Amino acid sequence: MNLNQLLKSLLAFPKETEWVEFKHNNDNPEDIGEYLSALSNSAALHGKEGGYLVWGIEDGTHKVVGTTVQPRLRKIGNEELENWLAHNLSPRVDFRFHEFDHEGQRVVLLRVQPALASPVSFKGTEWIRVGGVKKKLKEHPGKEKELWLVLARLNFEKGIAVQEVTGDEVLALLDYPKYFELSGQGLPAGRSGILERLGVDRLIVPRGTDIFDITNLGAILFAKQLSEFGTLARRHFA
């Protein structure tokens, strides 16, 4: 990951988004924990690959001014900040601090994974971003309902419709030419190229040498005959 390029892309937004927050030096641990919850939930809600908290940026102007924040040296009692944050988040989500120089100024970027199975809470409270403001999720039932719907859809799409089929079975079950047509991609020349592309876009999941699972997303969107999936599922679980 090119951190300088990532920062430039975040700074290009005309204002803070619901999945990006800029700060100068404020590194209050409770505040960071609440932002991790809010940014993770907001990233999931908006279909983003991550939420970001960035220190060293002047609020409003997005000018890079540098920061004195040192998260890797910060402790809460005898516990390192990262560990303290991790065990206060539920469910656990991946987050990373990155420290680097940008145009001669020191910057700290915290990236958090989007919520996956359920909204992320910090110390038992779930947070969300409303505009550029951090709010308790329970205070915004509309956003809470929308987030749960998004998470339910994502988890369904990643679920497995049928397990352990061969590459030839994948190509027989899925209308892959239609997939490439609708996605605006050229049809790869060979069988392996087709299967690789279906895997990248999460329509199938490789499980071994020429063995694949077909996801619910692949089945619902591109099955030639959905009834065949029920027959295959019964065969594998019999």
Q: Residues of the chain with pLDDT > 90: what percent?
A: 61
**Residue closest to 169 by CA, chosen among 221, 217, 216, 219:** 219
pLDDT tens readout for residues 20-66: 999 999 889 999 999 999 999 999 999 898 999 999 998 778 899 99
Say if domain 3-156 classifies as CATH 1.25.40: no
Residue ranges of the chain that CATH labels 3.30.950: 3-156
Q: What is the pTM of this model?
A: 0.70
Mean pLDDT (the chain) is 89
The two three-digit tokens of residue 62, written as one number: 């997005």
Q: What is the pLDDT confidence band of residue 183, given thresholds at 50, 70 and 90?
A: confident
Predicted pLDDT of residue 231: 52
Q: What is the pLDDT confidence band of residue 128, given thresholds at 50, 70 and 90?
A: very high
CA pseudo-torsion sign 142, 41, 54, 35? positive
Inter-residue long-range contacts of 29-35, CB under 8 Å, 24+ positions, other chains counted:
29/74, 29/76, 29/81, 29/84, 29/85, 32/81, 32/85, 32/110, 33/85, 33/88, 33/89, 33/122, 33/123, 34/122, 34/125, 34/127, 34/134, 35/110, 35/127, 35/134
pLDDT tens readout for residues 82-120: 999 999 999 989 999 999 999 999 999 999 999 988 999
Predicted pLDDT of residue 216: 85
d(CA 215, CA 226): 12
Predicted pLDDT of residue 229: 65
